[in-house]
Structure 1
Amino acid sequence: MSGVHLRHWPGDPDRPALALHCMLGSGSSWGPIAEALGGQVDLRAFDLPGHGRSGDWQPGADGPDYHTAVTRIAGSFIERPLDLIGHSFGATVALRIAVAAPEAVRSLTLIEPVLFAAAPDAAQDALDARMQAALADGHAEEAAQGFLSVWGDQDWAALPAPIQMQMTRQIRLVADTGPALRDDSARILRDGGLEQVDAPVLLIAGAESPRVIHAISDALAARLPDVGRATVPGAGHMLPLTHPKQLAGLIAVNLERS
């Protein structure tokens, strides 16, 4: 890829933090949350490959898969223990880092982690199958609409045409995350892995989110040594966009625990 776009919201230089956004989003989603945190952390976020202002994702024949590539990019920004925050796909990357290098994480906030391998779900399997079938038939827009009908916060018809086109291009990246999210190719759930995360962890979910999100949180919470749970009333999967102030308040609680 041609480059990674890094975003920065200055704050306490002694509390570096890194935030990882969801698929089909961008690092800009953390702006209102950073504002609400009021400088408690020195927050950085990058646009995932193929998202926002970052370059396109161009996998090599012998290169890493998308999840691994994003994990390596995130790791390149960690110079000392920091507060790690992730949403959806970004939360699975954050958890992967915490399992692989627990000493690098001061606190871990996981917002709706979509690690489906932790709690296999028939409805999610059916959605994945429909998306893959639509892509195989050359119907990328149909695949994007189906995905957003479950994991988005707006009706497709209400989205501006340029956003529809962008998400239609990006939906293949979502489909390619299957091995990491559904099959746990990164072995995040390996025996003893979650148990060695000694940083305070907060699992946050929207009350109106798909059932599988709550099942995943149950499965992860059962194994993490120091974990809290929070549910945001009236929120769905995209609560960083729809409920930034409430989310920032919960993140601040976890920051105080570390």
Structure 2
Amino acid sequence: MGEIVVVRDGFGPEVLLVHGGAGPRTTWGALAPLADRWTLAYVHRRGYPPSPPPQECQDFEVDALDLAPLLVGRPHVVAHSYGALGALIAAAAAPGSVRSLTLIEPPLHYLVPDDPEVARLERIGDAVLTHGMDMDPTELREFLHLAGAPVGDGPLPENVVAGVRRAQGGRPTREAHPQLDAIRGAGVPVLVASGDHAAALERICDALADVLGGERSVHPGAGHFVAAAPGFAEQLEAFLRKSVTWQASSSR
């Protein structure tokens, strides 16, 4: 397999940005002003040009293998949605290679067992991966709305349909069980962020922050695309700066 493409912009410590189902521009556009003080490294996951297509399908285990060599320079890692699964697996395999970890609404449903809303979110999300456009149309629209896709009452936009087809066949999120203890045990600074638009996602993020001993922030206003919400960029930069300070003091 060919290597994935990473586009870098800016100056300063590197922040590795790992998108989920939407591409880097949609996911991270609002963070562009941070390039004045940070090197923003935009990862293009397989299937998102100019990176090559996946050999078979979207797979968070393959994402983790792709991300592993990008951790050599010990960047801050910021990961969104499905992309956070691969980022967590890569970070758990080499926690000393991650300066900090920011996780935005990752689909780690198993962290909240016996919750009917979380179970339903997992079911319809994995149905998109399994059946794509052939799944129940009402549930498909429900999931797309939750995922921040521009859907209304009419036919789905062509770019949304293309996104569903790209996701179809992907590895189900229920199979992702990253070694979170390794990350917490290494003392990696963690921020878990959400958009306050779905109760199930809020519970997942609460549970993840608790397991990792991380900070927790909520930023309404942009749905699933939390990076575009008011105040998120400022919160992220404050966390990154604090992580640098904390690690400098702990290494003395």
The normalised TM-score by structure 1 is: 0.79
Seen in structure 2, the aligned counterparts of structure 1 residues 72 and 96 have a Cα distance that, compared at 3 Å, is same
| Partner of residue 8, structure 1 | 8
User: 2:249 — aligned with what?
Assistant: none
Equivalent-residue separation in structure 1 for 2:233 and 2:37 (angstroms): 10
Q: 1:216 aligns with which of 204, 209, 215?
A: 204
- Between the aligned partners of 1:158 and 1:39, the Cα distance in structure 2 is 41
Which shifted more, 100-109 or 141-150?
141-150
Stretches (4+) displaced over 6 A: none
2:70 is the alignment partner of 1:77: yes
| Aligned ranges 1:154-169 → 2 under 5 Å | 154-155=150-151, 157=154, 160-161=157-158, 163-169=159-165
- Distance in 2 between the 1:230 and 1:97 partners? 23
Aligned amino acid, residue 94 of structure 1: A
- Deviation string 1:16-39 (CA, Å, 9 cap, x unpaired) is 22110011x112235534422143
Shift in Å, 1:87: 0.7
Q: Displacement, 1:130? A: 4.8
For residue 238 of structure 1, report the CA deviation from its aligned partner: 1.8
Partner of 1:205: 194
Query: Distance between the aligned counterparts of 1:140 and 1:211, measured in 2?
Result: 23
Q: What pairs up with 1:179-198 in 2 under 5 angstroms?
A: 181-184=173-176, 187-189=177-179, 192-198=181-187
Once the two structures are superposed, the pairs formed by residues 56-67 of structure 1 within 5 Å of their partners are: 56-59=53-56, 66-67=59-60
Give the whole-Å Cα distance in 2 for the aligned partners of 1:89 and 1:133: 15
Aligned residues: 237
Of the candidates 6, 18, 27, which is equivalent to residue 24 of structure 2?
27
Q: What per-residue deviation string (whole Å, max 9, x for no partner) do you get for residues 59-89 of structure 1?
A: 39xxxx8111111111122222111110111
SS of equivalent residue, structure 1 residue 6: strand
TM-score by length of 2: 0.81
2:99 to 97, 106, 110: 106
CA RMSD of aligned residues (A): 2.8
Q: Distance in 1 between matches of 2:39 and 2:24?
A: 15
Secondary structure in 1 matching 2:106: coil
Maintained 8 Å contact 1:188/1:194: no
